[in-house]
């Protein structure tokens, strides 16, 4: 590549026209902010279809996809078994508002995979899962305050949209307008990976704290692993103060292994939030925990939570088929090998080009931070060069690789990514990083 500045990809004419039409009817043309590509400048490509690890846009460009619908598509897009289950379910009626065997079946798969969960309630999104888990924690402890960590994203419920990650971080609105200050005041935000700050908070107001909610591995400020001992400290401190520990495993659940981050790090939370993979790409969330806590949820208990479409049969069956595929021998070993191939490749390329790149990865979640030092919390994430990331993003897209359109999001691998796809990705990255050689930053 030459030293010419990276252009925005010439968005195809159909993408351009369709997005302009969308923007006349939807705020920003999208139904979830990061999709609008604002963090990288320019306008998004409109997707026509996806199969395996490939996304095709409406102009016939094909991309190797590292978004995977932001996490759910761990077996790849349009997996035949998942498609078949959804088709079968649809032919039997798409929603009943009455119990089905499929809810029990998916619940059993969740309970068997995650020992800290005895009872589980299905909802329609990760947002609903965390919102409901917080309500339950407040109900059980009869306390109002909660602790969350800066840069962790737990969906967009009011109490949790305080110093949040993901799109909220990307757009510089970690504290959204419209969140009542009386409510936000009940949310204490602390730096991720700082157990002393948690200890300090509990020392001063411990008897008022209902729960600590955490992404056990952060994905929503880019990938930030927990420091050794951080999760164990949270477990110990919350237990000592009669406060609940909530692991938000909406992203990590069934991604870092069948038992999620809690199995990987050997820490049992009181409540677990799930979403993304358990719906196989359909709208599903869940929260669960031991009987003595979950029995406080209506209709057994006095913490109310409901949903017209919760436990939807199409969504349950997409989830069931997806989780079944995770049982294939060697599934997570394959993902790990691919993750390592991508990480090592990117590291080597960056070193060769003299580009400061922190490739942070846990299993099949990975972020390439354009930063001088490892990212351990919100403050260090903010040192990343987002202009450089944007240039990298577009250079990759031009070369047929679709990375997340924000520095502060994780890239995801799926079982459908072949070693050859990752090689292709690394060739594109080599080109993309070489374009930085002559540019000043």
* Interface positions with ligand PLP (CB under 6 A): 125-127, 130, 153-155, 215, 219-220, 248, 250-251, 275, 285
Residue among 220 and 341 whose Cβ is closer to ligand PLP: 220
Q: Nearest to residue 10, comparing CAs of 53, 57, 54, 50?
A: 57
In the complex, minimum distance from the CB of residue 206 to ligand PLP, in angstroms, rounded to a whole number: 25
In the complex, minimum distance from the CB of residue 272 to ligand PLP, in angstroms, rounded to a whole number: 11
**What's 399's DSSP letter?**
T
First to last CA, the chain: 18
**Is residue 234 within 8 Å of 214, Cβ to Cβ?**
yes
Q: Tokens standing for 282? A: 């359909």
Clarify whether 194 is annotated catalytic. no
Active-site pick, 38, 163, 276, 338: 276
Assign 114 to helix, strand or coil.
coil
Q: How far apart are CA 261 and CA 253, in angstroms?
A: 7
Q: Nearest to residue 7, comparing CAs of 34, 42, 39?
A: 42
* Helix axis angle, 386-398 to 419-434, nearest 10°: 120
Q: Whose structure tokens read 């930063």?
A: 371
**Is residue 109 within 8 Å of 277, Cβ to Cβ?**
no
**Is residue 82 within 8 Å of 50, Cβ to Cβ?**
no
Nearest to ligand PLP by Cβ — which residue?
126
Residue among 69 and 430 whose Cβ is closer to ligand PLP: 69
- Read off φ and ψ for residue 274, nearest 5 degrees: -125, 165
**What's 228's DSSP letter?**
T
Residue among 220 and 414 whose Cβ is closer to ligand PLP: 220
Residue among 166 and 341 whose Cβ is closer to ligand PLP: 166
In the complex, minimum distance from the CB of residue 365 to ligand PLP, in angstroms, rounded to a whole number: 10
Q: Whose structure tokens read 């001063």?
A: 204
Clarify whether 338 is annotated catalytic. no
In the complex, minimum distance from the CB of residue 279 to ligand PLP, in angstroms, rounded to a whole number: 8
**Is residue 76 within 8 Å of 66, Cβ to Cβ?**
no
Residue among 55 and 223 whose Cβ is closer to ligand PLP: 223
Active-site pick, 248, 270, 377, 385: 248
- Read off φ and ψ for residue 58, nearest 5 degrees: -70, -10
Active-site pick, 63, 66, 153, 389: 153
Residue among 247 and 389 whose Cβ is closer to ligand PLP: 247
In the complex, minimum distance from the CB of residue 156 to ligand PLP, in angstroms, rounded to a whole number: 7
Clarify whether 153 is annotated catalytic. yes
In the complex, minimum distance from the CB of residue 168 to ligand PLP, in angstroms, rounded to a whole number: 11
Residue among 53 and 221 whose Cβ is closer to ligand PLP: 221
Which of 118-145 are b and which e, b meaning 16 or more Cβ less than 10 Å from the residue's Cβ? ebbbbbbbbbbbbbbbbbbbbbbbebeb
In the complex, minimum distance from the CB of residue 114 to ligand PLP, in angstroms, rounded to a whole number: 15
Q: How far apart are CA 13 and CA 30, in angstroms?
A: 18
Q: Whose structure tokens read 């700050």?
A: 197
Q: How far apart are CA 208 and CA 242, in angstroms?
A: 10
Residues annotated as catalytic are 153, 248, 276
């Amino acid at each position: 590549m030459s030293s010419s500045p990276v252009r925005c990809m010439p968005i195809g004419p159909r993408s351009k026209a369709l997005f302009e039409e969308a923007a006349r009817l939807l705020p920003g043309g999208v139904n979830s902010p990061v999709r609008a590509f604002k963090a990288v400048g320019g306008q998004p490509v409109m997707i026509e279809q996806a199969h395996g690890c490939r996304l095709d846009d409406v102009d016939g460009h094909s991309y190797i996809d590292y978004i995977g619908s932001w996490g759910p598509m761990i077996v790849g897009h349009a997996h035949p078994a998942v498609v078949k289950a959804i088709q079968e379910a649809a032919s039997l009626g798409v929603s009943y508002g009455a119990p089905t065997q499929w809810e029990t079946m998916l619940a059993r798969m969740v309970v068997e995979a995650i020992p800290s969960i005895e009872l589980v309630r299905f909802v329609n999104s990760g947002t609903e899962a965390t919102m409901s888990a917080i309500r339950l924690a407040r109900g059980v402890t009869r306390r109002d305050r909660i602790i969350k960590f800066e840069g962790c994203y737990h969906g967009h419920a009011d109490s949790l949209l305080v110093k949040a990650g993901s799109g909220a971080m990307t757009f510089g609105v970690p504290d959204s307008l419209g969140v009542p200050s009386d409510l936000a005041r009940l949310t204490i935000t602390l730096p991720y990976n700082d157990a002393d700050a948690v200890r300090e908070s509990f020392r001063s107001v411990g008897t008022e704290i209902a729960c600590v909610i955490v992404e056990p591995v952060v994905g929503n400020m880019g990938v930030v692993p927990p420091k050794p001992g951080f999760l164990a400290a949270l477990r110990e401190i919350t237990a000592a103060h009669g406060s609940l520990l909530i692991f938000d495993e909406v992203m990590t659940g069934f991604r870092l292994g069948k038992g999620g981050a809690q199995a990987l790090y050997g820490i049992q939370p009181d409540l677990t939030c799930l979403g993304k993979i358990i719906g196989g790409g359909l709208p599903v969330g869940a929260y669960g925990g031991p009987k003595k806590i979950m029995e406080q949820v209506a209709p057994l208990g006095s913490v109310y939570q409901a949903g017209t479409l919760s436990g939807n049969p199409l969504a349950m069956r997409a989830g069931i088929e997806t989780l079944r595929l995770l049982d294939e021998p060697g599934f997570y070993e394959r993902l790990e090998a691919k993750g390592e191939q991508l990480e090592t490749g990117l590291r080597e390329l960056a070193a060769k080009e003299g580009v400061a790149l922190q490739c942070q990865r846990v299993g099949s979640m990975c972020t390439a931070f354009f930063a001088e030092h490892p990212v351990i919390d919100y403050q260090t994430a903010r040192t990343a060069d987002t202009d450089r990331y944007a240039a990298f993003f577009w250079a990759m897209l031009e070369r047929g690789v679709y990375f997340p359109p924000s520095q502060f999001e994780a890239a995801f691998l799926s079982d459908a990514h072949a070693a050859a796809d990752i090689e292709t990705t690394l060739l594109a990255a080599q080109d993309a990083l070489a374009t930085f050689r002559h540019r000043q930053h």
